[in-house]
Structure 1
Amino acid sequence: MYCLDKKQALVLCGTRGIGLGVARSLAGYGCAVTISGNDRARAKEVAQSLPGSDNRSFACDFRNSASVGDKVADTGPYDIVLLNSPGFDPGTVDELSSLQIQQAMELMLFSIQRAVEATLPAMKKNRWGRFIGITSSSLSTPVDGLAGSTIARSAVQSYLKLLANSVSQFGVTVNHVIPGKIDTDRLRSIDVVAAEKTGKSVESIKNGTLEEIPLKRYGTPDDVGELVSFLASDKAEYITGAGIRCDGGYMKSV
């Protein structure tokens, strides 16, 4: 059991999928959780559904990283920040324009950098803080059909490692979770695209993927949430600069 009572946590993109699983877990361990979403009403509804009475929400558009930073600054300070971001449109690298690469970086890298910029000073002052990113299995095996996301997530990984090296002296740790196949709307939409491209059924695509996962199931957002809560706790105070898999054994690299 982790004691996160009275900690202020920010969960970016916390209304669905992995973000929602993390928000539920952190709130369950005692955090006052603020979630962001692109739909104000949905974000408010989710915040009110979480355990505890001090949860909040705000809406922001990750296509405009400056606005993300402003919203985070206005609602802080925070002790724990989940650096989560939306996925980018599917497509191969030869199909990507330079503008699309810029858009992917704005969505996934610049938005979380702005959030860090807005929250780090208070963490340094308090000599305690947690940044936890959500990255992707594409870090070890680039995904041809998700080129924009793969490029941006790789940049996020480097950014978080450099950040960890820089801020650990202030009692601030920085890690990232590498999810495998987590049962979310995003994964289901990717399975649909794969089915359309191959002429197979969605069920066939999913079954083929399950054969590659030693645990023979998709993960759940709550699986990721429990790992994030551990990394946010004092139990993980000696872990920083790490990328930790939550994939049921899916990734083949050592």
Structure 2
Amino acid sequence: MDLALSGRTALVCSSTQGLGAAIASALAAEGANTVVNGRHDAQAKEAAARLPHAVGAGADLLSPNGPEELFQATVEAFGPPDVLVLNGPGPRPAQATDITAADVDSAFETSVRPHIRLISLALPAMRARGWGRILAVGSSGIAAPLANLALSNLGRAGLAGYLKTLAAEVAADGVTVNLLLPGRIRTERTRTVDTANAARTHRSVADVERESVAAIPAGRYGHPSEFAAAAAFLCSAPASYVTGVALRCDGGLVRGL
């Protein structure tokens, strides 16, 4: 299938490692002019150097001017983005009974505010040209809240509600808005969560991983490239009639439809 992304500009947030890096690689392989983002400029440029049609842009999305700096770097390199992939670190693991009001504010600042700011910057040009793709990397916790990830469940669900509302408002302008929800994909973030669960339950990380794998019908953790392939499709021209969707890439982990 031709994804018709050649020559398009794609901004992929937090893309020097993990799922973001896999998505940036998939989009660049399809011919998109890809902006690789990380908090440190040297790291972003190093990651971009490994890809075709890519530049690195260092910007901390959690800093007051981070979203504006990243957007401006994209415009200077390739012009306004046709594709915006929202991604970033999740809040720390926490049980619902342990979170404070400050934790709630932090979850919003981490998982919602910078993404909405980037959308507000990128959306006008998308609507004007009649073509745009906004994709957020979420969590299966949106479909089925995850134990010991109360802050992530809170923040990501808030962003999902906003994106679903936005999707209906801009669909007639040729802009799609979707979420892609990872299950247990083998990344550093997954390792961090497994380590936190192991400490909380006084077990080894290997035991926690075996228990997780046993709950996945596919019988394994996913590979970042599998997740990135789904992301590339949702960012493509052929996906023009897919919007307002939260698609799971989880090996069947969540048992609901």
Superposed pair shares fold, TM > 0.5: yes
Q: Does 1:216 align with 2:215?
A: no
State whether residues 14 and 35 of structure 1, in contact with CA within 8 Å, keep that contact through their aligned partners in structure 2.
yes
What one-letter code is carried by the residue in structure 2 that aligns with 1:72?
Answer: F
Deviations 1:199-237 (A, max 9, x none): 211111111111111111111111111011111111111
Instruction: Tell me the alpha carbon deviations over residues 114-138 of structure 1, each in whole angstroms, 9 at most, x when there is no partner.
Output: 1101100110111000001111111
1:228 aligns with 2:215: no
Query: Normalization by structure 2: what TM-score?
Result: 0.94
Alignment of 1:77-226 (within 5 A): 77-226=80-229
Q: Which residue in 2 is equivalent to 1:19? A: 20
CA–CA distance in 1 between the matches of 2:147 and 2:63?
A: 26
Contact 1:73 1:118 in 2 (8 A): no
**Counterpart in 2 of 1:68?**
67
How far residue 75 of structure 1 moved from its aligned partner, in angstroms, is 2.3
CA distance in 2 between partners of 1:109 and 1:164 (Å): 16
Q: Specify the alignment match of 1:30 in structure 2.
A: 31
Q: Does the 8 A contact of 2:59 with 2:69 survive in 1?
A: no
AA partner of residue 55 (structure 1):
A
Structure 2 contact 48–54 (Cα < 8 Å) conserved: yes
The one-letter code of the counterpart of 1:239 is V
Q: What fraction of aligned residue pairs are identical, expressed as a percent?
A: 34
Contact 1:62 1:86 in 2 (8 A): no
**For 1:9 and 1:252, how far apart are their aligned partners in 2?**
33
Contact 2:27 / 2:232 at 8 angstroms: preserved in 1? yes
Q: What's the offset of the Cα at 1:65?
A: 5.2
| Cα separation, 2, equivalents of 1:65 and 1:103 | 14
Relative distance call for 1:65 and 1:230 in structure 2 (3 A) is farther
* RMSD of Structure 2 on Structure 1 (CA): 1.2
In the alignment, does 2:7 pair up with 1:6?
A: yes
1:35 counterpart SS class:
strand
Q: What amino acid does structure 1 have at the position aligned with 2:254?
A: M
Paired letter, 1:138: G
User: Which one-letter code corresponds to 1:6 in the other structure?
Assistant: G
- AA matched with 1:13: S
Q: Distance in 2 between matches of 1:207 and 1:151?
A: 27
Aligned residues: 252
TM-superposition CA deviations, 1:28-47 (whole Å, max 9, x none): 11101001111221111001
SS at match of 1:81: strand
- Partners of 2:74 and 2:251 in 1: CA distance: 36
* Distance of 2:158 and 2:72 partners within structure 1: 23
- The AA in structure 2 aligned to 1:102 is D
Runs of 5+ consecutive residues of structure 2 not aligned to the other structure: none
| 1:113-166 deviation per Cα after TM superposition (whole angstroms, max 9, x unaligned) | 011011001101110000011111111221231111110000011011011011
Q: Contact 2:83–2:235 (CA<8 Å) still a contact in 1?
A: yes
Conservation of the 8 A alpha-carbon contact between 1:66 and 1:114: no
Q: Structure 1 residue 249 and structure 2 residue 257: aligned?
A: no
